[in-house]
Amino acid sequence: MSSSASHAHHGEANQKPLVGSMGVDSRKLGLWAFIGSETLFFATLIVTHLIFYARTKEMLNGAGILKELDPRLNYLGIELTTVLASLLLASSLTMVLALAASKARDWKKFRFWQMATILLGASFVGGQVYEFMHLYHVGLKLAPSYALHISDEVYNTIASLNLDPSIVTLGEDHGHKAAIVPSLFGVTFFVMTGFHGLHVTIGIIWLLAVYVKVNKYPDSPENPMDIELGGLYWHFVDLVWVAIFTIVYLM
């Protein structure tokens, strides 16, 4: 989608080549259709995660150790993710302010808000990298089981229950006592949020490219649409996080 040659079609009379028979910009039309496609991409990732998380919960609940070993409650604290969600929401605001500034042809303001968006996005990605590293160190891995660090008390409780190894085994992780639970919670979580992070990264590159282009050609009448397109993609990426934040972290 990054580049379009729809304007290659300007005929004899048509002085506004970007506007076609639907009365809209071709690239914007294509981008909305692409966003629709991406919606199903993320829906599939999210539903896979939910299915396997529900299965893990069912299994732990049946063994009476759900509260102690629930991967979401024990791994995903909401402090960091609330900060990350706020960063991304704020970047959506700065993005729309950048677009408004460009429409008012206030390039100084545009540069400020566009750069703010890029920096907020970069902080989000940085925060996510930190979160992934943290989770790895406390036993959530890209593997079909997780090793939850537990206290001696919980360790002894589980040991006393004599549970089937297909539900939980006791062991060690990074020098801590850990309960090792066969579960795809970690794999599905990392793949889902990782692909979102990849999209944010692509969005940052896109916004940077627009920033550079607008700086180089401040008089181009294409600028507002270039900015709007980058913005649309950016808001969509934020929208996905609105869903992941609530569905995966809070619910």
Partner 1 sequence: MAIAEQHVTSTHSDSAASEGFSWRSWLATVDHKKIGIIYIISAFAFFIIGGIEAMLIRVQLGMPNNTFLSADVYNQLFTMHATTMVFLVIMPMNVGIGNYVVPLMVGARDMAFPRLNALSIWLFLGGGLLLYFSFIAGGAPNGGWFSYAPLTQTRYSPTAGMDYWILGLGLTGVASIAGALNFIVTVLNMRAPGMTLNRMPLFVWMNLVVSFIIIFAFPTFTVASIQLLFDRQFGAAFFNPALGGDAVLWQHLFWFFGHPEVYILILPVMGMISEVLPTFSRKPIFGYAFVAYSGVAIGFLGFIVWAHHMFGVGLGPVANAFFAGASMVIAVPTGVKIFNWIATMWGGDVRLTTAMLYAIGFISMFIIGGISGITLASPPIDLQQTDSYYVVAHLHYVLFGGSILGLFSGAFYWFPKMTGRMLDEKLGKLQFWLMLVSFNLTFFPMHIVGTEGMPRRIYTYEAGMGWEVWNLIETVGTFLLAFSVLMFIYNVFKTLRSGALASNDPWDAPTLEWAIPSPPPSYNFLHTPVVTSRRPLWDAKYPHAVGDDHGPASKPSPVRYEYTDENTPGAKDIHMPSLTFSPMILAGGLTIASLGFIYINQAILGLPTRVAALVFIAIGAVMVFYAIRGWVVDSRKDSPYLGHHH
Partner 2 sequence: MANHDTHVEHHEAHTEHSTRFYWIVGLVLAIVTAIEVAIFLVQDLFLHELFLAILIVLMLAKGVGVVLYFMHLKGDFKIFQFLFIVPFLLAVSLVLLMLTLFSYHVGIAG
Among 95, 188, 203, 232, binds partner 1 (CB under 8 A): 188
The 3-state secondary structure of the chain reads CCCCCHHHHCCCCCCCCCECCCCCEHHHHHHHHHHHHHHHHHHHHHHHHHHHHHHHHHHHHHCCCHHHHCHHHHHCCHHHHHHHHHHHHHHHHHHHHHHHHHHCCCHHHHHHHHHHHHHHHHHHHHHHHHHHHHHHHCCCCCCCEEEEECCHHHHHHHHHHCCCCCCCEEEEECCEEEEEEECCHHHHHHHHHHHHHHHHHHHHHHHHHHHHHHHHCCCCCCHHHHHHHHHHHHHHHHHHHHHHHHHHHHC
Is 33 a binding residue for partner 1 by CB under 8 A? The answer is yes
Q: Considering the complex, state which of residue 94 and residue 158 has its C-beta at the smaller distance from partner 2.
A: 94
Residues between 5 and 64 with contacts to partner 2, criterion CB under 8 A: 9, 11, 13-14, 16-17, 19-24, 28-29, 32-33, 35-37, 39-40, 42-44, 46-47, 50-51, 54-55, 58
Is 29 a binding residue for partner 1 by CB under 8 A? The answer is yes
Residues between 35 and 94 with contacts to partner 1, criterion CB under 8 A: 36-38, 40-41, 44-45, 48, 51-52, 55
Is 222 a binding residue for partner 1 by CB under 8 A? The answer is yes
Q: CA-to-CA distance for 96 and 89, rounded, in angstroms? A: 11
Q: Considering the complex, state which of residue 44 and residue 156 has its C-beta at the smaller distance from partner 2.
A: 44
Q: Which does 152 bind (CB under 5 to 8 A by kind): partner 1, partner 2, none?
A: none
CA-closest candidate to residue 220, choices 112, 107, 75, 138 = 107
Residues at the contact surface with partner 2, assessed by CB under 8 A: 9, 11, 13-14, 16-17, 19-24, 28-29, 32-33, 35-37, 39-40, 42-44, 46-47, 50-51, 54-55, 58, 78, 82, 85-86, 89-90, 92-93, 95-97, 100-101, 103, 231-232, 235-236, 238-239, 242-243, 245-247, 250-251
**Interface residues toward partner 1, by CB under 8 A:** 1-12, 17, 20-22, 24, 26, 29-30, 33-34, 36-38, 40-41, 44-45, 48, 51-52, 55, 142-145, 182-184, 187-188, 191, 195, 217, 220-222
